[in-house]
Amino acid sequence: MLILVTGGAGFIGSHVVGALVEAGHEVRVLDVRSPEPPQFPPGVAFVRGDVRDRTAVEEALHTVDAVCHQAAMVGLGRDFDDAPAYVGCNDLGTAVLLAAMARLRVSELVLAGSMVYYGEGRYDCAHHGTVRPGPRRVADLDAGRFEPLCPRCGEPLTPGLVPEEAPPDPRNVYAATKVAQEHLAAAWARATGGRAVALRYHNVYGPGMPRDTPYAGVASLFRSALARGEPPRVFEDGRQRRDFIHVGDVAAANLAALGAVGAAIPEGTLRAYNVGSGSPHTVGEMATALSAACGGPEPVVTGEYRLGDVRHITASSSRLRKELGWLPQVPFADGMQEFAKASLRGTATAPR
């Protein structure tokens, strides 16, 4: 197959490109930036262009069989002034791509989704079963009360794993754009008879992450601090639960999804899959493991917070394992050891 990878010069996209080439696919990349070393594998075609540019998108789509759509502005960002940039890159860009796919009759899509789709994760109350807490209050956060409480009785909750059937609950601008991307892809599939897979990535880390940018994930921020000889600064109390997934496993999930999108996914539908390791860790545990692997200073728990962050978000990846036969291959400890020594990319304002 000839596969277009949008954002293929970025962190996750470049790993997807490598996995596709290794599996024997032809690959074309559309990215607004030139690829940083290491360069693409031999035979990969590169089209420089913005995913919002109809001409560039149509050039990149010519004769392709499927699209892996990785291009996006990611992370929580600085403040709400980033909203137009997020919406333009993520939602307008996706709309331009899907419209061109409809015109050129490209009918298979793998979309880079995100666990931010769910907002806060799943919580169970001892008295009321599964509940969905509302947004955390500034007064509680200022007082160091970080854990959501039952919205019905105010009692403590037990965090659990979120299934794909959970409703969307975006709690920041980036999350809102990722939900919109899935809705656009579902509308495209219905209108054209196409097939789409949305891979809801959890906290992706690994070689080639961008450094020193507010748009990067927490693993990159901690790694950048350690490279400067500084301790990682852990927000809240460090007990936030996340699922850290190695970028190589995410690339393998894209490969598995491409195998399914033309076979197991019915025409005119979108199928979502969580992509996580299945072994949640707290942010504090990750910072401690990375500091130890780097031989750097121990993390500092600051009590600071970002209003758009959620407390706990971990999801079940059993659907991906059962339906597509995907299994993560990189254990947390091994991944942290590798990441501690891996090179990072230069500063980026809108990593893809």
**DSSP one-letter string for 107-122:** -EEEEEEEGGGGSS-E
Compute the mean pLDDT over every residue in the chain, rounded to the nearest whole number: 92
Q: Are 346 and 210 in contact (CB under 8 A)?
A: yes
DSSP 278-306: S--EEHHHHHHHHHHHHT-PPPEE-----
pLDDT at 351 over 50: no
Burial class (CB in 10 A: 0-12, 13-18, 19+), 63: exposed
pLDDT at 328 over 90: yes
3-state SS assignment for residue 270:
strand
Q: Are 47 and 60 in contact (CB under 8 A)?
A: yes
State the residue for tokens 């090179």: 343
**What pLDDT, on the 0 to 100 scale, is given for residue 37?**
58
pLDDT at 38 over 60: no
Sorted by where each begins, the domain ranges of the chain are 2-121+162-206+243-279+316-330
CA atoms of 17 and 78, how far apart (whole Å): 29
- Sign of the dihedral defined by the CA atoms of residues 106, 108, 109, 110, in that order: negative
222 or 36, which is more confident: 222
pLDDT at 216 over 90: no
**What pLDDT, on the 0 to 100 scale, is given for residue 211?**
82
pLDDT at 215 over 50: yes
CATH T-level assignment (fold) for domain 2-121+162-206+243-279+316-330 = Rossmann fold (3.40.50)
Tell me what percent of the residues of the chain surpass a pLDDT of 90: 83
* pLDDT-derived band at 36, boundaries 50, 70, 90: low
Q: Are 148 and 156 in contact (CB under 8 A)?
A: no
- When mean pLDDT is compared across 138-142, 190-194, 287-291, 307-311, the lowest value belongs to 307-311
- Sign of the dihedral defined by the CA atoms of residues 259, 265, 271, 276, in that order: negative
pLDDT at 194 over 80: yes
Single pTM value for the model: 0.93
Phi and psi at residue 274, to the nearest 5°: -75, 140
* pLDDT-derived band at 192, boundaries 50, 70, 90: very high
Q: Which amino acid is at 201?
A: Y
Pairing assessment for the beta strands 122-125 and 129-131 based on DSSP bridges = antiparallel
3-state SS assignment for residue 30:
strand
Question: pLDDT, tens digit, for every residue of 6-22?
Answer: 999 999 999 999 999 99
Distances (CA, A) of 194 to 7, 108, 190, 243: 21, 6, 7, 31
Beta strands in the chain (DSSP E): 2-6, 26-31, 45-48, 66-69, 108-114, 122-125, 129-131, 158-162, 195-201, 203-205, 233-234, 241-242, 244-246, 269-275, 281-282, 300-301, 314-315
pLDDT at 348 over 60: no
pLDDT at 214 over 70: no
CA atoms of 124 and 183, how far apart (whole Å): 28
77 or 33, which is more confident: 33
pLDDT at 168 over 80: yes
